[in-house]
Amino acid sequence: MLTLLFVLLAFAFIIVAIIKFEIHPFLALFVGAIFYGLIAGMPAELIVQSISDGFGGVLGSIGLLILFGVIIGTFLEKTGGAFVIAQKILAWIGEKSVTLAMMVTGYILSIPVFGDSTFIMLNPISKSLSFKGKIPYAATTIAITLGVTASHSLVPPTPGPIAAAGILEADLGMVIMWGFIVSSLALVPCFFFAKYYASRIDLVPEFAEEERTTEVKKYPSLVKCFLPIAVPLLLIVLASIANYPTRPFGENTFTYILSFLGSPVIALLLGTFLSFVLPAKFDKKLLSSSGWFGEALLIAAPVILITGAGGVFGKMLQNSGLGDMVSGIIEPGNLSLLLPFLLAFALKSAQGSSTVALVTTASIVAPLLGTLGLDSEMSKVFTVLAIGAGATAISHANDSFFWAMTQLTGMNVKQGYMSHSIGTLIMAFTAISLIFIISSFF
C-alpha cells in the first residue's frame, strides 16, 4: 500500500508542476519519475538504469514514428494539401450536409495534422458554408472539434496514440484498424449532439474584410494529397494482418516484403517521401533546418521528449515492483480496462493535454498489464484505445484547443462548456462502452 501512496504522490507532483507552476510536461514527468524512484527507496543504480532503459527504449521504438507523422502533416498543411482534402470531402458529402461534412473532414485531417491547425484551416470554410446554407454556426463548429478530437486521441499516426501503443508494445496496425472503428462509431451520437443540441447556441459568424484560408496559389492534386496518409496506414494494417498466427496471406516472398514495408518505421518513412512531392515546385531548401522539414523537427521535438519522459516514468514504476504490489488488489478481466480509461480521463481533465494524458497513463499502466490481465496482444490494443477514449475528455479551459475554438468563433466560455466540453464527455463514454463490448469477443 505504501508503494501506491508513493505513486499517488508522484502523480500529484506531476499534475501540480504542470498546472500550478506551468512547468513543461517533459520536465515535470522526468523529475516526477526520479522523485518517485527516490521516495520508493529504489537503489541509485536502478534509478539511473530506469532512466536509460525507459527513455532509450521508448524513443527507440516510436521516436521516429512521431517525427515522420509530424513531417507528413507539416507538408500537407504548408502546401494546401489538407485544404484540398477538405474541399473534396465537402464535394462528396454535399453542402446540404455541412455538419456531417465538417465532422468527417475534421476527423480525417486531424490524423496527419495537429488539432489546432486543423480547426484553424477548417473554420473559415465552416463559417462560410453555415452562413450560405443558413445552418447554425455552432453546429458546424462543434462538428469539427469533435471530429478532430476523435482521431487525435484514438487513431495513429497522431503522436498520442502512437506513443501509447509504443509504450504498451501494442500492434500498431491493430490499433489503427480498431481505432478507426471505435472512433467512427463514437462520433455517431456526437453528430446528433452537434446537429440538434449545439445548434441551439446563438453564434453568428463574423467575417473579416478579406479572409483567406491559405496563401497557397496552386494546390497539389487530390491523389498526391491522400497518398502520404493512405499508403502508410494501408501498409501497416496489411502487415499486421499478414503477421497473424494463422498467416492469412501464407508464408512467401510477398508476405516477407509486405512485413518489411508495413513495419511502422518503413511505412511512415515512405509516407514522408510521398509528402515531398506535394509542393508544386520542389526546393531543396524545404528540407533544410530553416525550411518545412526543420519546422517539423521543432514541432515534433517536445512531443518526442514528453514521450521519452513518460517512458522513464513507466520503467521506474516497473522496476519498483508496482505490478506485484497491486496484484492482490485488482482482479483481472474486462473491467480492468476501466482503470486506464479513468486515469487518462482524470489526467486530461486536470491538465488539458490529450498527448500528455495518453503518454502518462500508458506509462503508469504498462507495468500493470499482467496484473490487470491485459497482457495479450488484443488486450494491449484495447488498452491503448481505452486510454485514448479517456484522453478525449473533458476538454475545457485548461486545453489550448478549447481556447482556439472559442477565440476563433466568438463563443464565450459558458457556450464552449455547454457544447464542446459536453460533446467530449459523450464521446469518451461512448468510446469506452464500445471498447468494452468489442473486447468481450476476444
pLDDT in tens, 17-39: 988 898 999 999 999 999 999 99
* 77 touches 119 (CB < 8 A): no
Confidence of residue 214 (pLDDT cuts 50, 70, 90): very low
158-185: average pLDDT? 94
The CA distance from 179 to 174, in Å, is: 8
What pLDDT is recorded for position 408?
A: 87
Confidence of residue 234 (pLDDT cuts 50, 70, 90): very high
The CA distance from 222 to 84, in Å, is: 6
The CA distance from 354 to 161, in Å, is: 10
SS (H, E, C) 80-143: CHHHHHHHHHHHHHCHHHHHHHHHHHHHHHCCCCCHHHHHHHHHHHHHHHHHHCCCCHHHHHHH
* 194 touches 146 (CB < 8 A): yes
Percent of the chain with pLDDT over 70: 94
Angle at 171 between CA 182 and CA 390, to 5 degrees: 40
Confidence of residue 352 (pLDDT cuts 50, 70, 90): confident
What pLDDT is recorded for position 338?
A: 93
Asked if pLDDT for residue 101 goes beyond 60, the answer is yes
45-68: average pLDDT? 91
Q: Rounded to the nearest 5°, which phi and psi values hold at 19? A: -80, -55
323-335: average pLDDT? 63
Neighbour tally for 241: CB within 10 Å: 18
Confidence of residue 332 (pLDDT cuts 50, 70, 90): low
Average per-residue pLDDT for the chain:
89
The CA distance from 183 to 198, in Å, is: 20
Please tell me which of 74-83, 190-199, 247-256 the model is most confident about, judged by mean pLDDT. 190-199
The CA distance from 41 to 60, in Å, is: 28
What pLDDT is recorded for position 188?
A: 97
What pLDDT is recorded for position 212?
A: 46
Asked if pLDDT for residue 187 goes beyond 90, the answer is yes
What pLDDT is recorded for position 112?
A: 85
What pLDDT is recorded for position 48?
A: 96
The CA distance from 28 to 36, in Å, is: 12
The CA distance from 304 to 299, in Å, is: 9
Neighbour tally for 435: CB within 10 Å: 25
Asked if pLDDT for residue 326 goes beyond 70, the answer is no
**Torsion-angle region of residue 94: left (phi > 0), alpha (psi -120 to 50) or beta?**
left
418: DSSP letter: I
Asked if pLDDT for residue 211 goes beyond 80, the answer is no
Tens-digit pLDDT profile for residues 283-311: 889 999 989 999 999 989 998 999 999 99
Percent of the chain with pLDDT over 90: 61
Tens-digit pLDDT profile for residues 255-264: 999 999 999 9
What pLDDT is recorded for position 216?
A: 46
Tens-digit pLDDT profile for residues 396-421: 988 889 988 998 898 999 999 999 99
Asked if pLDDT for residue 323 goes beyond 80, the answer is no
In terms of pTM, does the model score above 0.75?
A: yes
Asked if pLDDT for residue 213 goes beyond 70, the answer is no
Confidence of residue 217 (pLDDT cuts 50, 70, 90): low
Asked if pLDDT for residue 208 goes beyond 60, the answer is no
Question: What is the DSSP annotation of 328-342?
Answer: TTS--SGGGGHHHHH
Residue owning grid cell 484498424: 177
329-358: average pLDDT? 84
> Which grid cell sits at 434?
464500445
Radius of gyration of the CA atoms of the chain, in A: 22
Asked if pLDDT for residue 192 goes beyond 70, the answer is yes
Asked if pLDDT for residue 145 goes beyond 90, the answer is yes
Confidence of residue 106 (pLDDT cuts 50, 70, 90): very high
